[in-house]
Homo-oligomer: A and B are copies of this chain.
């Protein structure tokens, strides 16, 4: 039951020139289920990525980092669901490397030009033989129009495919931006991981591409939380195929701002779709902190609210039990916070100011906002001029049911 998750129709999904996608059913965890996805990238493509900071980084993440450290000239991605290849030690590494090697043979490229991604159960060996057996079928099905199929085939326990697409004019040229993502908790019952793949046919210099993927992540995938659990496999990849005639060397190019804004909109859409499809989510909640002294303290306050089980269950119940929000801000670790300068709004309703309930606040107004499917919690700290937003969902019975299910 995703919250207002828009799936564009086929005619609004624009394939990115320079990218073909192939799909196959490898039977990694379940039979007769597309669980293997291959991207082939054209000659001039450059790729950059950001990865989980979890110390138990999965084998494919380690291999991605190694391959990208050799340069951005990646020519293929291989993505499996059903098994995260995490907590699998040396065997896991060799499995991830073999998947790259076998795909490289089929595509006549070097193994280091392939990036591997895995998502699924942790601590179990990847059935590498089944994956390799299915690779030729995935390669046979490579086609430019497979984006929505790919959004489906990278799903684990997601209830909806997540895809974003747009075209824009840029300096007299048309540029395409299309991407897909998956994930519903930071870790799913057993199914791990957030994955995001965003592509454009604009060209960017390798240095700019790397800066861009990091800046995009910080405004999108690094601003969402369902349950606060960071997966071992989280990855966000930006592909620039340079198939259009737009090539941007540096951030000083006036076209960069326009392109960045469009990429940021796409990345945020993909990230928010993960929250909208959050495990058991019934509400989409924006937590906005304003007048913070620093980004760090704004994020501390925002995540304290977004991670509070008490706040999240109150939103599930549409119960304006809003002292819980102030209590979360109070323990966020801003040691010199003067609560007399703080304010709390629920959408446009001023709930509290000066550390206590606002005299004009009445519960009927709070109740009205709490019943909405989309709600903004806004806390003003009264300390500076920094604003940050994070996105989360409520905590429902369904979350417990999903995560308490046996893995079988």
Contact = CB atoms under 8 A, between A and B. Distances in A.
Interface of A: 52-57, 84, 86-89, 91-92, 121-124, 185, 187, 189-190, 192, 227-232, 307-310, 313-314, 316-317, 319, 321-324, 326-331, 334-335, 337, 339, 352, 354-357, 395-397, 399-401, 403-407
A307 B308 CA distance: 10
A55 to B, nearest CB: 4
Contacts of A354: 89
A322 B395 CA distance: 22
Given A310-B187, A400-B316, A56 B330 contact: yes
Contact of A55 (B57, B189, B231, B330): B330
Contacts of A352: 87, 123
A356 B399 contact: no
A66 B86 CA distance: 53
A352 B87 CA distance: 9
Copies in the complex: 2
A395 B310 CA distance: 12
A404 B307 contact: no
B54 A327 contact: yes
A313 B55 contact: no
Max chain B Cβ within 10 angstroms of own Cβ: one of A88, A319, A323, A337: A323
A319 B323 CA distance: 35
B56 A316 contact: no
A384 B231 CA distance: 26
Contact of A329 (B56, B189, B396): B56
B404 A323 contact: no
Contact of A310 (B185, B308, B314, B355): B185
B403 A400 contact: no
B403 A313 contact: yes
Given A56-B329, A331-B55, A308 B229 contact: yes
A359 to B, nearest CB: 10
A326 B400 contact: no
A313 B404 contact: yes
Given A56-B330, A122-B324, A187-B310, 12 more contacts: A54-B331, A55-B329, A55-B335, A122-B323, A123-B326, A227-B308, A227-B310, A229-B308, A313-B404, A314-B403, A316-B400, A397-B401
B400 A395 contact: yes
Please give me the 4 A-B residue pairs with the lowest Cβ-Cβ distance, nearest first: A122-B323, A56-B330, A317-B404, A313-B403
11 contacts: A52-B331, A122-B324, A122-B327, A123-B356, A185-B310, A187-B324, A231-B327, A313-B400, A316-B400, A397-B401, A397-B404
A403 to B, nearest CB: 4
A339 B55 contact: yes
A231 B330 CA distance: 9
Contact of A187 (B88, B327, B355, B405): B327
A303 B384 CA distance: 31
B399 A330 contact: no
Given A308-B229, A406-B319, A330 B54 contact: yes
A298 B374 CA distance: 38
Max chain B Cβ within 10 angstroms of own Cβ: one of A86, A92, A229, A231: A229
A327 B229 contact: yes
Contacts of A84: 323
A401 B314 CA distance: 10
Nearest to A307: B228
A316 B55 contact: no
Given A187-B324, A352-B87, A356-B88, A331 B400 contact: no
Given A327-B54, A397-B397, A407 B87 contact: no
A229 B357 contact: no
A47 to B, nearest CB: 25
Given A324-B187, A356-B92, A404 B319 contact: yes
